[in-house]
A = this chain, B = another copy of it.
């Protein structure tokens, strides 16, 4: 008689954003006239820019003619895209990453969920608290997290690194030594960042203790300050301890277009085994590449027109972030993030819990945000707002919140 993977059954409720979706749908059904503004899930609203649209049309035409039709893509991605990423995201910043160290995928969420698979089951993970739920949940599903304690809302075999007001929402080096360290800067959900010197400390620490840093750089395009690193490979020694996840979702609006990339330097080894080889084997065996036309769209992100158009798109969202930050601060809310990231992290007023404030905001202002506690116990009493809505909706939402 077949049996199911018991580790799946340990998962807490359903995925955070599915839960929010259900709550919002229920509210909308009961209040058909309410004009709900969604600033919860980090989904974008601006259309793909013309350079990308043109590239997509061209690639579609190629697929319609036998001379230019493309079947199976190279396992690890088309050379044209891997080279564009290597040149623009790494070599242009004096980081030594080669095209063949870059793996193209259908998104950073998939990669951040799948990457744990190439590590031993008894490796211990360390995560920031609060944290993007995918890092923890996928390790729960792999049986790597021990048992869940209902009181502390933590897993017995996970090292939590609290990111609170006291630490300026940055993690401190853990007391217990981890094997895998998940870091995400600019951070989801807090919108916080760390300096290059701070990140260098993490790289030195990982090399010292023999840990791998899984570095999620999905929000890199939103960095506005000088001393904030755009990639972990700006740090010396990162090639022997770091894997970097890159997304096209937020810098180019690909949430519904799906494209990502993972960088594994060939110097990152366990004994003689390159993690690069293991990930290549996973790609070859369980994956068949991102669609050709989508990879061409990714290439357009790095064209001169694409770069210029996307710079404007990021500026548009960051203007929203500024509007949220200033509007809420002037109304007496305590807010952070929003300067190098499209996320604003606010303290809930009147000591409400995160979910109480979620319900209150939905009910009274018809505005949807994300409860901070959904990202981990240290997120309790916080709330995440995203800058990804339209400017008009953002202004309207802040007006409503100011009236509360």
Which residues of A are at the interface with B, using a C-beta cutoff of 8 A?
1-6, 8-9, 11, 14-15, 18, 41, 43-48, 50, 53, 56-57, 60-61, 63-66, 69-73, 75, 106-107, 109-110, 113-114, 117-123, 133-134, 137-138, 141, 179-180, 209-212, 253, 255-258, 270, 273, 275, 278, 281-282, 284-294, 390
Contacts and interface: CB of A to CB of B under 8 A. Distances in A.
Contacts of A273: 4, 9
Copies assembled: 2
Contacts of A75: 18
Given A110-B287, A255-B71, A285-B113, A2 B44 contact: no
A53 B47 contact: no
A2 B181 CA distance: 10
Contact of A289 (B15, B141, B258): B258
A138 B286 contact: yes
Contacts of A281: 8, 11, 14-15
Contact of A5 (B110, B118, B285): B118
A103 to B, nearest CB: 14
B46 A64 contact: no
Given A72-B41, A106-B288, A107-B288, A210 B137 contact: no
Given A9-B273, A117-B5, A286 B110 contact: yes
Contacts of A65: 47
Contact of A120 (B4, B11, B258): B4
